[in-house]
């Protein structure tokens, strides 16, 4: 009975709240939109493609501002935001074009800034709100060939911390999640490309749990961070990576049958 009560409490902990999720058409964004809705939130999803409530390019600040204004006009408030819009990109710096650098930074970092800025304006006016930005483990430690993607996600981590410092006394909480390898269309677009199969297995093995994560596992973390259960958490970069950043596993214990 106690477990059923606890489960019911979790599944209703976002009841009567309004949430905005970017990148909601697929992958982590779609999973976050579903999880927040399952927990009782009124969710407005946005993506650059069809299939969500709003078609939105987060690089367009005017469009972002208008989308948030429309949400508030329709629902009266904005309680939480999950910024999941993002793209892959990279390569060694000497081979990277300026156009590719700008593309990745404009979507992953500047787009997150646009959404954070206009969400914060509303949340400051109402005196409360929770923002979760989807960063990456590549934002806290480098990866081979990551360059611009690493830089963009490191920027998201620091943007989140800076906002937590600036707005904590005004009722806003701002955190980010740093996923490891998550089984999404974005990851598959990289690992399923020609010549990448061997590296896919190496990457999988670098996760101590021996597998890639599921989008729903990131969504669980996001739902927690925007909920009142995380009311004393702000400025945190939550690593959800199956042990990828915990340390090196070389297989010594295999010799002992462990």
Our separate counts of H helices and E strands in the chain read 9, 7
Give all strands of the β-sheet with 42-47 in edge-to-edge order: 54-55, 42-47, 18-22, 80-83, 129-134, 172-179, 237-240
CA distances from 43 to 49, 115, 133, 156, 169 (A): 17, 15, 16, 23, 26
**For 193, which DSSP code?**
S
Per the residue annotation, which of 20, 113, 149, 224 is the catalytic one? Answer: 149
In angstroms, the CA 97 to CA 91 distance is 10
In angstroms, the CA 14 to CA 81 distance is 12
In angstroms, the CA 55 to CA 211 distance is 33
Check if 167 is active-site: no
Q: Which residues are catalytic?
A: 149
């Amino acid at each position: 009975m106690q477990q059923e009560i606890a489960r019911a409490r979790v599944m209703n902990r976002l009841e009567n709240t309004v949430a905005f999720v970017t990148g909601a058409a697929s992958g982590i964004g779609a999973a976050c939109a579903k999880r927040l809705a399952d927990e009782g939130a009124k969710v407005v999803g946005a993506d650059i493609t069809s299939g969500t409530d709003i078609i939105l390019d987060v690089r367009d600040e005017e469009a972002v501002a208008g989308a948030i204004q429309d949400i508030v006009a329709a629902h009266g408030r904005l309680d939480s935001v999950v910024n999941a819009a993002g793209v892959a990109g990279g390569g060694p710096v000497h081979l990277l074009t300026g156009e590719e650098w700008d593309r990745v930074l404009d979507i992953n970092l500047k787009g997150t800034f646009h959404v954070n800025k206009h969400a914060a304006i509303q949340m400051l006016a109402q005196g409360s709100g929770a923002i979760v930005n989807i960063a990456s483990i590549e934002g806290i430690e480098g990866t081979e060939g990551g360059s611009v993607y690493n830089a963009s996600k490191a920027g998201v981590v620091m943007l989140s911390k800076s906002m937590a410092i600036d707005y904590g006394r005004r009722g806003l909480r701002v955190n980010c999640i740093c996923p490891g390898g998550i089984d999404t269309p974005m990851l598959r677009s990289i690992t399923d490309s020609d010549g990448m199969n061997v590296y896919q297995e190496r990457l999988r093995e670098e996760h101590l749990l021996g597998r890639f994560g599921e989008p729903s596992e990131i969504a669980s973390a996001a739902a927690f961070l925007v909920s009142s259960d995380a009311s004393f958490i702000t400025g945190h970069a939550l690593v959800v990576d199956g042990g990828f950043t915990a340390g090196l596993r070389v297989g010594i214990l295999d010799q002992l049958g462990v």
